[in-house]
Amino acid sequence: MVRISMLGSGFTPSFFMAALKTIPGQEVKVVYSPTEAHVRRFAEKWGIPEWTTDMEKAIRRNDIDLVVVGLPNFVHKQAAIMAAEAGKNVVCTKPLARNAEEARHMLEAVKKAGVIHGYLETDVFCPSVVKAEEVIRKGGIGDVFWIRSREAHYGPHGAWFWDPELAGGGCLMDMGCHCIENARYFLGKNVKPVEVMAWGDTIVHPVDCEDNAVLLVRFEGKQIAQVEVSWSSRGGLDLRNEIYGTQGSIFTDVTRSTPIQVFSLAGSGYVVEKAEADKGWVFPVPNEAVSYGFVDMFRYFVDCIESGKTPRETFEDGYIVNLIIDAGYRSMKSGRWEKVGV
């Protein structure tokens, strides 16, 4: 039995719990959040036996095998290092940190402690994305040379996302991390990112960070990853990948090509994350926790803790993603290709 301490009681931990409730061999023993009323409600909703507003108490328990960091970006470093110093295995939601320097400190801490560490990048556990990678590894589309990955909606759910000091950036930080890791997963982790060109601007929302961005990542074999992200895209969450190879191509669409289509005049109810309407033609996602990769991701990480094996997504991967994003923000300012410091 893998005994878990859940850090966070907001939007992302709710998806974590929806996934974990379907997975045997684990138990969430305690949940932490700084707001008492909120964390109490969260514990009651998900049947978690204990809650606390003291993060250190949630981590430094003898009955905890795994710490799950589902907190806002500006708390990731503190939480992960605290878990490592307590000798706890730790997994952290995306992005690993607000910048590569913070990510490096986190990586150094888990390596020094010798604990298992995992990067909770849901996209590369989506069933469609995993299947695409399987086809690529079997040579089904030849040599991959171009990847286009898009994630978009009309803006995040929490106020802190809009503050670049707290989040580390705007939509490129929030969603570009998904697209970048998709590209690394499709190409293979052995293919090194070399340089980045990026554009970002504030077009729709009156905020101090970019609400639209485009990023090009060139890899050492001349492969290109084209990342498109937006906080100004109407119609709910849009998750797509296009992978082009010398012998074929693959297209994945998690939220717009669903197995069910509904036309409703009265209103169909919940459709998809960040949907703005439930009337007319809508495309509900039948089980978001499955479709987005949460279930397979947590099943995999629980197995890693049980067996003691190194996960395929670690803090090392999160650090590389942060390095690429850092180069992207430098490129936005310079208007030039910027080297990735890997």
Per-residue pLDDT tens for 303-328? 999 999 999 999 999 999 999 999 99
- DSSP structure string for 59-70: HS-TT-SEEEE-
Q: Is the pLDDT of residue 341 over 90?
A: no
pLDDT at residue 281, as a whole number: 85
- Burial of residue 75 (CB within 10 Å: 0-12, 13-18, 19+) is middle
Cβ pair 334, 61 in contact under 8 A: no
CA distances from 18 to 28, 95, 214, 300, 328 (A): 12, 21, 32, 15, 33
Mean pLDDT of 198-212: 97
pTM over 0.85: yes
Band of residue 287 on the pLDDT scale cut at 50, 70, 90: confident
Determine the 3-state secondary structure of 199 from DSSP.
Answer: strand
Least confident piece of the model among 67-76, 111-120, 221-230, 280-289: 280-289
Query: Which 8-state DSSP code applies to residue 273?
Result: T
Q: Is the pLDDT of residue 288 over 90?
A: no
For domain 2-121+294-313, give the fold. Answer: Rossmann fold (3.40.50)
Q: Is the pLDDT of residue 257 over 90?
A: no
Residues 6+ apart with CB under 8 A from 36: 53
Determine the 3-state secondary structure of 319 from DSSP.
Answer: helix
In the chain the beta strands, taken as DSSP E runs, fall at: 2-7, 26-32, 50-52, 66-69, 89-93, 117-120, 144-152, 193-201, 212-219, 224-230, 238-245, 248-253, 262-264, 280-282, 338-339
Cβ pair 32, 52 in contact under 8 A: yes
Superfamily of domain 124-287+323-339: Dihydrodipicolinate Reductase; domain 2 (3.30.360.10)
Band of residue 342 on the pLDDT scale cut at 50, 70, 90: low
pLDDT at residue 256, as a whole number: 84
pLDDT at residue 333, as a whole number: 98
What tens digit of pLDDT does each residue of 88-132 get? 999 999 999 999 999 999 999 999 999 999 999 999 999 999 999
In the chain, where the domains are located: 2-121+294-313, 124-287+323-339
pLDDT at residue 14, as a whole number: 96
Q: Is the pLDDT of residue 289 over 90?
A: no
pLDDT at residue 319, as a whole number: 98
